[in-house]
A and B are shown apart, each in its own frame.
Chain A
């Protein structure tokens, strides 16, 4: 008998009573102004929010936010200042040393500042390996909470997606909060019209 069937039959033998699935109807918190809540949560988790004004150029805006950035990685067609492209990079490793990575977020979550980022590039390392991460997020795409978020997420054929809320952080040394553990040290969400 395979280990799989051994384990499954052992489970069957162990289960005495099968409990029903509960009705998952959570009376969840919603916000009068989800965008305002999303902005305030992003700041409280250590991120930054900047709004792209109508008529402004996204490349100029990013440049002004990171004037010293040399290596900029993005596969988004509207990002013309990119020096690296995660779609054509020879290896994930060669994205190391990226000062600013720019990716697109599908929607944000008001309750906890999560932004859903499905993998749309060949090497998703850009989301983590970059020193600073910029997420472009449509301003109107904010849901209240994770219940709404999980009803909305979808996957493409690349089979990976992540919610990101703020920069990488740790408190593993003496419980002192430090931004920039192993992934992006800063996070900026740019709200686009």
Chain B
């Protein structure tokens, strides 16, 4: 049986066992920190329930809230743009930058600009783009993509970063101390903030009632990116808009507790308009598939996601296979689901990266039924032509056996014989279940026959 794309990629990740173990333990400790935060608030489950209900309400009134948001942002003096897809988004950004004669733009972290592959587009048009979140900067210098939505450089250790900085930033040879490296990155980025012509941020939330763009960071890089340059562009996906501050309070309390196990991010910044010494602020609202996904009766709730990352932190498959094992740019349970909404043919290989343990939907702060959705996607694989024919055959054979008790009983009776098959045959590459995995031993007596004899004996 052919392995899925995910399990093939995971094999690469698992080659470095020491690192794989560190990765697993690191994310488990983040999960533990999240638990301490959640258990520390008696109202945690009430917050989750409310957050989920607010998102359901907002998404099903998104036409109204987006209209309200853009009206208020324009009243504040912002220029609001609408982009139907990645190409239109990139063109809008480029045209704003050209209008202001921008040569260099600093930016804070945004999964949306990853989604639209904005950086390579702008660079191809002669704009220098500098990522300013430390993790994003590291992978930008390394020419890589994020392996986690909140901790983008988690696949690199301090030696990897140290060697990278020696080459790119001219840091001391052999000094790979994270404090030193962070300081050197600070000095280099400080220079970028001071010399950039524009700053771009994403947005964690857009507030319909006030027109605010709210950005949460620990590093303060979104604020640095927007407090020196003369131009601020904020880009958000449609689903980031929420009704008002009462709603925001609910999400602000959960975002960081769920994501990194902190009581809050260091900075929760509200941008309503440009600085008095800057050009008007631009806001770009990006659809890129979202308005269509909303029509999917079984999967529209994936749009509730606030990008905290807690589902990947807890996922036993993500922890043991890393972000690069998934074909979509967002990994883990939410990435599996969003990838399937984006392009099921291309990203079906991810749906098997799930044990259906449902840990993800137990921690999700907005109660997305992530694991249930993955299960539902699996049922739809034949309609995308991406179902595995061998698994299908195996399933129909099992279904036949389980539906015919005579055959089932005979199979059970002979099953202990399987224990005698030599290892060299059982663990042939033909048996994918024998790979990295010990096959079960069939018991001499089945539960069925024990039951008949009377379990009490």
CB distance from B112 to the nearest CB of A (A): 15
* Contact (A181, B218) CB under 8 Å given A160-B269, A167-B266, A172-B138: yes
* Contact (A123, B263) CB under 8 Å given A160-B271, A173-B158: no
Q: Is the CB of B84 within 8 A of A172?
A: no
A13 within 8 A of B: yes
Q: Please, how many angstroms separate the alpha-carbon atoms of A96 and B293 in the complex?
A: 46
Q: Mark A1-28, 1 if CB is under 8 A from B, else 0.
A: 0111011101111111111111010111
* Contact (A172, B227) CB under 8 Å given A7-B287, A18-B60: no
Q: Please, how many angstroms separate the alpha-carbon atoms of A176 and B265 in the complex?
A: 16
CB distance from A181 to the nearest CB of B (A): 4
Q: Is the CB of A18 within 8 A of B277?
A: no
Q: Please, how many angstroms separate the alpha-carbon atoms of A66 and B271 in the complex?
A: 31
Minimum CB distance partner of B271 in chain A? A160
Name which of A48-56, A77-85, A134-142, A143-151 contacts chain B: A143-151
Q: Is the CB of A8 within 8 A of B67?
A: yes
CB distance from A132 to the nearest CB of B (A): 13
Chain A residue contacts of B56, Cβ below 8 A:
19
B residues 319-342 in Cβ contact with A at 8 Å: none
A114 within 8 A of B: yes
Q: Is the CB of B263 within 8 A of A172?
A: no
Chain A residue contacts of B88, Cβ below 8 A:
3
Minimum CB distance partner of B182 in chain A? A178
B246 within 8 A of A: yes
A165 within 8 A of B: yes
* Contact (A170, B182) CB under 8 Å given A4-B82, A20-B57, A122-B276: yes
Minimum CB distance partner of A162 in chain B? B269
Q: Mark B66-106, 1 if CB is under 8 A from A, else 0.
A: 11001000001100001110001000000000000000000
Q: Is the CB of A26 within 8 A of B182?
A: no
Q: Please, how many angstroms separate the alpha-carbon atoms of A5 and B261 in the complex?
A: 40
Count of chain A residues with Cβ under 8 Å from any Cβ of B? 74
Q: Is the CB of A13 within 8 A of B295?
A: yes
Chain B residue contacts of A17, Cβ below 8 A:
60
Q: Please, how many angstroms separate the alpha-carbon atoms of A187 and B179 in the complex?
A: 18
Q: Is the CB of A172 within 8 A of B134?
A: yes
Q: Is the CB of B291 within 8 A of A14?
A: yes
Q: Please, how many angstroms separate the alpha-carbon atoms of A176 and B221 in the complex?
A: 18
* Contact (A183, B57) CB under 8 Å given A45-B266, A160-B272, A173-B138: no
Question: Given A22, A91, A149, A183, which contacts B53 in the complex, CB threshold below 8 Å?
Answer: A22
A29 within 8 A of B: yes
Q: Mark B166-196, 1 if CB is under 8 A from A, else 0.
A: 0000000000001101110010011001100
B5 within 8 A of A: no
Contacts between the two chains (Cβ within 8 Å), count: 253
Chain B residue contacts of A167, Cβ below 8 A:
266
Q: Is the CB of A181 within 8 A of B134?
A: yes
A166 within 8 A of B: yes
Q: Is the CB of A114 within 8 A of B268?
A: yes
Q: Mark B27-68, 1 if CB is under 8 A from A, else 0.
A: 000000000000001110011001001101100111100110
Q: Is the CB of A155 within 8 A of B272?
A: yes
CB distance from A178 to the nearest CB of B (A): 4
Q: Please, how many angstroms separate the alpha-carbon atoms of A41 and B262 in the complex?
A: 11
A43 within 8 A of B: no
Q: Please, how many angstroms separate the alpha-carbon atoms of A12 and B223 in the complex?
A: 35
Minimum CB distance partner of A10 in chain B? B291
B6 within 8 A of A: no
Q: Is the CB of B221 within 8 A of A182?
A: yes
25 examples of A-B residue contacts, CB within 8 angstroms: A8-B67, A11-B62, A14-B294, A15-B62, A28-B43, A114-B268, A123-B227, A125-B227, A145-B249, A150-B248, A158-B276, A159-B273, A160-B272, A165-B263, A166-B266, A168-B266, A170-B135, A172-B135, A172-B153, A172-B182, A173-B161, A183-B221, A183-B266, A183-B267, A184-B220
Residues of A at the B interface (CB closer than 8 Å) are 2-4, 6-8, 10-22, 24, 26-29, 41, 45, 91-93, 96, 111-114, 122-125, 127-129, 145-147, 149-151, 153, 155, 158-176, 178, 180-184
